[in-house]
Structures are given as structure tokens and as C-alpha cells.
Amino acid sequence: MNMIDKVLPKIHNEGYKFIIIFVFVTIILYLVHGFLGFIGLVLTIWCYYFFRDPERISIQDDSYLVSPADGIVLQVLDTNGPKELSLENRKFKKVSIFMNVFDCHVNRSPCAGMVSDILYKPGKFINASFDKASEDNERNYYKIKNNQNEDIVVVQIAGLIARRIITEVDKDQELEQGKRIGMIRFGSRVDVYFENYDPLVKINQKTVAGETLIAKK
């Protein structure tokens, strides 16, 4: 990544309308008072970087799972699979990653494979760092069959101020490891369920979507 890409990263398509709104409001605020205009400028810069969509280089190795999200690891535990996908009778390992409003919110596939199911569930907008968010909040499930025909589940969970989950892939679509699968606007969490892998991350560890190795066979 060159210096220009670091300073002016690529923007996700969802971001342009928000950036335009922020710029317009900043102009209005500046006409009212210069200091208000400065605050608007800072918020506009934040909005620009919130919707950044940088290129990432994934390992492309079926022996590993890569992080689906930028953020901090909240949980690493053994649990049953999501009942919404009829996996509640199977044991999985789960890694939960919390994204704050300063993290890149573009989500990526942890493995290569095929999207075997996508399920959207409406819900509440409580703090995504709470355990009950995985059952109560708005969320979107992706069940991915990896190249070994194993189920890898990615769950996008909306947070306290998140108000839209965006899906960028379709059922039966083939995925490369690290491919963009969607994003969540304004603060959220991503859970990953997997079998036959051992977690490589710890609670409070920082992750980078598409690059951080979170599990290994």
C-alpha cells in the first residue's frame, strides 16, 4: 500500500452518500460559526475513514481461518451452533470480534468455499459487546462450506448505533478466502463458528479482517 492509499484509502460504495451529507452539514455549520464548521470537518473526516475499504492480502490456505473483521476479540469459547441455521445440536468453537466506530467495518470471508445459506434476522440494537446481542440484535448469518465440506458460520451483529447490515454475496456463490462479504454501519460485532480448527487468538487481541489468522487445523 502506497502513501496515497494510506492517507486517502478506497471508500466503500455505501459511504459516499453519508460523506456528501456530512460535507453539506459542515458547510452549514461553518456559515453559522467557524468553530462549528471545524467540528463538522472533523466529523466529515471521521465519516470518510469509517467507510474505508482497503485492500487486504489473505493467506489463501485451507488450513487456516482469517479474521472476518477488524476489531478486538471479545470471546473465544466452545458452544452450540446457531439454532437459526439448525446447528444447535452440534458443538462449535466461536470467536467474537467487536468493531468500534473507528474500525474498518468491511467484513470478509474467513475461508474459501461456497455460501450454502444466508439468513437475515431482524432484532434489537443493544450494545454489541453484550452476550445477549448474538440472540437479540439484528443479525445476518452466512453458512459457508469450505473446501473440506465443513460448515463455517459468520454472523454479522448490529450494535447500539448500527442501523443496517449490508450483504455483498449471494447464496451458492463461490468465495475466496478474505473476499468481502458485506459490512455493518456504525459499530457492531462479528461471530465466527467453526469445527475442526484450533483458535489462534486470545481475548482483547486486535484483529485485521482478511489477514489475522484466527484458527488453524
Cell for 66? 482469517
Q: What are 57-108's pLDDT values in tens digits?
A: 999 999 999 999 999 999 999 999 999 999 999 999 999 999 988 898 899 9
Q: How far apart are CA 122 and CA 169, in angstroms?
A: 19
Facing residues of 189 across strands?
Answer: 98, 157
Lowest mean pLDDT among 78-82, 168-172, 187-191: 187-191
Q: Is the alpha carbon torsion for 110, 52, 203, 193 positive or negative?
A: negative
Q: What are 42-56's pLDDT values in tens digits?
A: 999 988 888 888 889
Contact, 26 vs 45, CB < 8 A? Answer: no
Whole-number pLDDT of residue 102:
87
Cβ neighbours of residue 155 closer than 8 Å, sequence gap 6 or more: 82, 134, 139, 140, 141, 142, 190, 191, 192, 193
CA dist 133 to 76, 88, 161, Å? 16, 17, 13
Q: Which residue among 58, 96, 109, 188 is the active-site one?
A: 188
CA dist 211 to 35, 57, 156, 177, Å? 40, 6, 18, 10
Residue 2: band (very low, low, confident or very high) from pLDDT cuts 50, 70, 90: low
3-state secondary structure of 93: strand
Q: What are 194-209's pLDDT values in tens digits?
A: 999 999 999 999 999 9
Facing residues of 96 across strands?
Answer: 75, 191
Whole-number pLDDT of residue 16:
87
Q: For the chain, how big is the Rg over CA atoms in Å?
A: 18
Spell out the domains of the chain, with CATH numbers in brackets.
Answer: 3-50 (no CATH), 64-216 (2.70.70.10)
Q: What is the value of pTM for the model shown? A: 0.87
Angle between helices 16-32 and 34-50 (to 10 degrees): 170
In this predicted model, which residue has the larger pLDDT, 111 or 164? Answer: 111
Cell for 63? 488450513
Q: State yes or no: pLDDT of 5 exceeds 70.
A: no
Mean pLDDT for the chain overall: 90
- CB neighbourhood size of 185 (10 A): 21
Q: How far apart are CA 34 and CA 26, in angstroms?
A: 10
Residue 7: band (very low, low, confident or very high) from pLDDT cuts 50, 70, 90: low
User: Active site includes 188?
Assistant: yes
Residue 138: band (very low, low, confident or very high) from pLDDT cuts 50, 70, 90: confident
Q: How far apart are CA 105 and CA 100, in angstroms?
A: 9
